Amino acid sequence: MTQELTTSLQAGPARSPEGTGWWRDAVIYQVYVRSFADSDGDGVGDLRGARERLPHLARLGVDAVWLTPFYASPQADGGYDVADYRAVDPLFGTLQDADDLVRTAHELGLRVIVDVVPNHTSDRHPWFLDALADRPRGAARERYHFRPGRGTGGELPPNDWESVFGGPAWTRTTGPDGTPGEWYLHLFAPEQPDLNWDCPEVREEFDSVLRFWLDLGVDGFRIDVAHGMVKAPGLPDIGRTEQAKLIGSQVLPFFDQDGVHEIHRGWRRLLDSYPGMRIGVAEAWAPSAERLALYVRPDELHQAFNFQFLKCPWDAAAMREVIDESLAATASVGAPTTWVLSNHDVVRHTTRYAEDGAGQGLRRARAAALLTLALPGSAYLYQGEELGLPEVVDLPDEARQDPAFFRTSADGQDGQDGQEGRRDGCRVPLPWSRSGPSYGFGPGGSWLPQPDGWADASVEAQTGDPESTLELYRAALALRRELPGLGDGPMSWLPAPAGVLALSRPGLVCTLNTLGEEVRLPLPGRALLSSAPLAYDAGTVRIPAESCAWWAI
Ligand code: GLC
C-alpha cells in the first residue's frame, strides 16, 4: 500500500446520504483497467495497479469508479468477450485483487461499479464450445442464435444484419469433417457470439453472475449493450446497408427492442434485494431521449448513459436543446440525467472539439467539463479527461488492437475526423509522472505507445499548477461536494446573448461562452471557478472565448 493510500483512508464517505439515492448526483470515474495503472510491468494495466491509484480518484473528488471488464477473456475486444464471468483474467490479476480493490475503494469512500457483458460471450466460453460441438438445432445451440444459411447450399448469411464493427453479423461454422454448417449471430466481432435471451438458462446464469459480484461487494453494474439482448422475432432483414449509421437514431430488429425492458426489470428486483443501494446503468444506444428514458423507469435501471449529450456538437443552441430534452425525458420517469463527454469507445472530447487545433480542443474541453458538472444529475468522467488528454491520432497500425479498426479500416469507413471507429486512440495508458519507462503507468512499457510530451500531461506535472486541467477538475469536484445547489435538483435558463448559455442552480449560476470571441456580461455574482481567466470592468465581466465560469449568487 502506498503512503498516499494510507493517508487517504480517512477520506469521507460519498456525498449523498443513504436514503436519497447516491447515484442521483454521483460523479463516476471510468477506469479502463488495461490503461489505468500497471503494477507488474507487463505493459497492461491491472487491478492491483488500479487499487494503488485509487487515492488519486479520492483526491480528485469523484464518488464512484466504474471498472471495465477484467474477467477471463481471450481479449478479442478488450475483454468485452468474456470466457468466464466469475473469474479474473490473469492479465489483470486475481479474484483476491478484485476483492482488495473493492474493499480499499470503500475505505476511501468510493463506490465500485463493474461491467457486465450479457449480450454476447466469448467464442471460447464453454457454452459456445459446446454449441459448436453440438448438431444443428441441438440443445447447446439454443443458448445462441444458430441458423441455417440462405441460398441453395446455405452459403448466404441467414439475414442481412451487419456487425457494429463492420462486415456481416453472421459467421458460418465448420463441422468436424470440414463441411460448412450453420451460421451464428454476432452483432460485434465473430469472437463475440450473441446469446439467446429467450433461453431460460441464459437468464438464470446472468442472475447468478450478478449475485456473485454483488456478494463480493460491488455497488452496481454498467450493463454492456443493454439495448441489444432481445432480437425481433424471426430475425427480419433490415433492407439496407451501412446499418451502423442507424444505431442510436432508429429502433432496429437487433437494438432497442421492447423486450429488453423485462430483463432489466428482473435485474432491478435482484439489485433491490441487496442492501446498500446497488445500481444498474445502461449502455443503451436509443434513438431518442424518450426511448432512453424507458430504461430508467422506476422499476428498471437507475441510470443510462446520455449519448445524445456526448454526440452534441460545440454549439450553444444545440447543447441547450439536448440538455432540455434529456432533462424532460428523465424527469418524465423520475430518474436523474447522466452527462458524459467521453468513454473508451469514442474519440476523446478534447480532440472532437478541436476544429481549429489542439489549443481550441483543450479550451472547449475545460469549458465543457464545468458545464457538465454544473448540470443536474450524475456525471461520468473517462480516465484521463481530468488531464485534458487528447486522442492519440497517430498510432501506428501495427500497434492497434481494436477489432473495430481491423473490420472497418480496410474499406475506408473513417469518420469525419478520421478517428471514428478507431478506438485505440482513446485507450492509450495514462501518464502519472514526468519520467519513468511509461510515465509512471507501470514499471515496464505500455501496451500502446504513449506520445512524446505525455510527461507534461502527467498527474505529477499538473498537480499544484493552478492553471492545469487536473486542478480545474479537482476544484470543480470539491465545489460540487460543498455546494448543495449542484448535483441533483432544479435548473433553469437565464437570458443570455446568442452563443452563450447561462443556467441557474440554487445559489449558483453557470455561464458558458461557446463563441470564438470574448463576451461581456453583467456580473452574474461572485466568481467561484472558471476554465479561463476572467476580466472585470465596472460591474461587467469579460468572459473569454470558449470558456465556462461558475458564480455564487
Ligand atoms: C460496448 C463496449 C464496447 C464493446 C461493445 C461490445 O459498446 O463499450 O467497448 O466493444 O460493447 O461488447
Which residue from 34, 35, 77, 406 has its CB within 8 A of the most atoms of ligand 1, so it is best to mutate? 77
* pLDDT at 409 exceeding the cut of 60: no
Distance of CA 88 to the CA centre of its chain: 20
Give distance in angstroms: CA of 169 to centre of ligand 1. 15
Give distance in angstroms: CA of 207 to centre of ligand 1. 21
pLDDT category of residue 299 using cuts at 50, 70 and 90: very high
What is the mean predicted confidence (pLDDT) over 441-462? 97
pLDDT at 404: 87
Q: Which atom of ligand 1 lies at the shortest distance from residue 403's CA?
A: 10
Q: How far apart are CA 36 and CA 432, in angstroms?
A: 9
Which residue from 33, 225, 405 has its CB within 8 A of the most atoms of ligand 1, so it is best to mutate? 225
Any ligand 1 atom below 6 A from CB of 345: yes
Q: Which atom of ligand 1 lies at the shortest distance from residue 423's CA?
A: 9
CB atoms within 10 A of CB 176: 8
Give distance in angstroms: CA of 147 to centre of ligand 1. 24
| pLDDT 10s digits, 518-538 | 999 999 999 999 999 999 998
Give distance in angstroms: CA of 166 to centre of ligand 1. 14
| pLDDT 10s digits, 475-519 | 999 999 999 999 999 999 999 999 999 999 999 999 999 999 999
C-alpha closest to that of 425 among 456, 452, 443, 451: 451
List of domains in the chain? 22-122+196-389+397-477 (3.20.20.80), 136-185 (no CATH), 490-552 (2.60.40.1180)
CB atoms within 10 A of CB 188: 25
Q: How far apart are CA 411 and CA 315, in angstroms?
A: 32
Active site residues: 224, 283
| pLDDT 10s digits, 355-389 | 988 899 999 999 999 999 999 999 999 999 999 99
What is the mean predicted confidence (pLDDT) over 186-193? 97
Give the residue, by CA position, lying nearest to ligand 1 atom 12: 80
Residue 451 is classified by DSSP as P
Any ligand 1 atom below 6 A from CB of 80: yes
pLDDT at 315: 98
- In the block, cell 458564480 appears at 551
C-alpha closest to that of 541 among 356, 129, 526, 501: 526
C-alpha cell at 176: 468436424
What is the mean predicted confidence (pLDDT) over 22-27? 97
Any ligand 1 atom below 6 A from CB of 77: yes
Q: Which atom of ligand 1 lies at the shortest distance from residue 344's CA?
A: 9
Give distance in angstroms: CA of 468 to centre of ligand 1. 31
Beta strands in 247-406 (DSSP E): 279-282, 303-304, 338-340, 378-382
